[in-house]
Amino acid sequence: MYPLAQILHSQGFFLTGSDNNETETLDAVRQMGIPVFIGQKAENISGADLIVHTAAIMEDNPELMAARQSGIPVLERADLLGIVTSWYDNAVCVTGTHGKTTVTSMITQILFTAGVDLSAYIGGKLPCIGGSGLAGKSDTIVCESCEFEDHFLKLSPDISVILNIDADHLDYFGTLENIKRSFRKFAEMTSKVLIVNGSDANTADSLKGIDKEIITFGRDNSCNFYPENIKHENGLLTVFDLMKNGTKLGCITLHVAGIHNVLNAVASAASADFLGISFDAIQKGLSEFRGANRRFEKLGCERGITFVDDYAHHPAELEAALNAAMEMKFNHVWAIFQPFTFSRTKLLLDDFARVLQIPDHAVLTDIMGSREKNTYGVFTRHLAEKIPGCIWFPQNEEAEWTDERKYLNFEQICDYICNHAESGDLVITLGCGDAYKIAKMIINKLK
């Protein structure tokens, strides 16, 4: 919601807001002069001409219920984002099952470094812009575009960047074929150009025969943009030659790990190139990119143990992050994973079990249900039992999920890692919930 607040505020709209917890983001909102209420109460909507809520708000939320009874127009966040993207002539909409936040951040970093007065809407914090959003005065917006419940079909994309298509959100889509159909609809809405992963079979299948200008990026010279001479140096440093239609544009230096981030950088470069950004500016922007918040983010080092956090919550994302971690040649890799949503855990259980055998040690928390109730009857033990040597701490499965129970779980993991991890090891927390808090607990305890 924060980037939307920034953009609307810059356009002269009067905003108020509410949240349940004090955060750095709320401080930033208040510094813009926007009043924020703590706690969701019916009276918070008083005086509004339009009410906007996120998909994370439950139907029995008192503020949402009052909003719907008020007769005032009510929009979900994605509806408002769709309206906002329609205001720009160059809406760069970045989508895909994996990598959206990183690529949106990379493109934003390139354009920002090149001096473009852009607007941005990112699903994570980007240090160079001081947050997750930016309100600029040009006709360009870079927008992370999420396929969850077809939210991206509400946008107005001019330049669509499609990174990959994989089976996720199956509680809504049901099948991979339905997901591919939605991505095709998104592509058909695009007014100028499709920048797509030419090395991804599902993307190619989804877009077969589409009547749009297409620029491809991928792993090899079958694509318009691709990397050559990839070298990993000193842990998080990667260098490669960026190629365009068989011609070397120059060398790119990345300060983020993994082959997946090389492809993310190539996708970002292709997008910036279409927008008329010079190679020198692309090179400079990518060299200054240090990752988005919670994307293989280094949290610190204590007693010789390195701590990294990653947002990965789908098997393919876990596989990419864990392979990157294993390539870094630490003595042992400890992967602490917090499964997110019961539906995803149940439907992709075997895939999760397979990739969680990549690290030296897999450690599991309880499942974070988020917006769901456990109608699937799935628990951490069902996953743990499929992973040889998995470490987990059984809880009372029938007990109500509370912060108290969750932090008991976190404390058990914290104690275990403190007692077993050694100098030269890597501890990586994984998941889109709040598993990163465990790493911070461990660092503080080791201190």
Output the pLDDT for position 369.
82
Distance CA 132, CA 155 (A): 18
Bridge pairing between strands 247-254 and 237-244 = antiparallel
Q: pLDDT tens digits for 23-36?
A: 888 999 999 999 99
DSSP, collapsed to helix, strand or coil, labels residue 100 as: helix
Question: Which pLDDT does position 419 carry in this prediction?
Answer: 96
317 versus 339: which is more confidently predicted?
339
- Is 402 a residue whose pLDDT tops 70? no
pLDDT for res 318: 92
Characterize 40-75 residue by residue with b for buried, 16 or more Cβ atoms within 10 angstroms of its Cβ, and e for exposed.
Answer: beeebbeebeebbbeeeeeeeeebbebbeeeeeebb
- Mean per-residue pLDDT for 233-254? 90
pLDDT band of residue 235 (cuts 50, 70, 90) is: low
Please, what's the largest Cα pairwise distance for the chain? 62
**Mean pLDDT for all residues in the chain:** 92
What type of residue sits at position 88?
Y
Q: Is the pLDDT of residue 398 over 70?
A: no
- Is residue 244 pLDDT above 70, yes or no? yes
Q: What is the mean pLDDT of residues 158-187?
A: 93
pLDDT digits (tens, 9 = 90+) for 100-118: 999 999 999 999 999 999 9
Report how far apart, in Å, the C-alpha atoms of 228 and of each of 192, 242, 289 are: 28, 7, 20
Packing angle between helix 100-113 and helix 279-288, nearest 10 degrees?
120
Task: State the pLDDT at residue 226.
Answer: 98
**Residue (of 401, 400, 343, 407) closest to 377 by Cα position:** 343
**Cross-strand pairs, 306:** 301, 426
180-222 pLDDT, tens per residue? 999 999 999 999 999 999 999 999 999 999 999 999 999 999 9
DSSP secondary structure string for all residues of 186-239: HHHT-SSEEEEETT-HHHHHHTTT--S-EEEE-SSTTSSEEEEEEEEETTTEEE
- Phi, then psi, of 17 in degrees rounded to 5: -155, 170
- Assign 311 a pLDDT band (cuts: 50, 70, 90): confident
Q: What pLDDT is attached to residue 169? A: 84
Length of the chain: 447
Beta bridge partners of 244: 225, 247
Q: Could you give the percent of the chain with pLDDT greater than 70?
A: 96
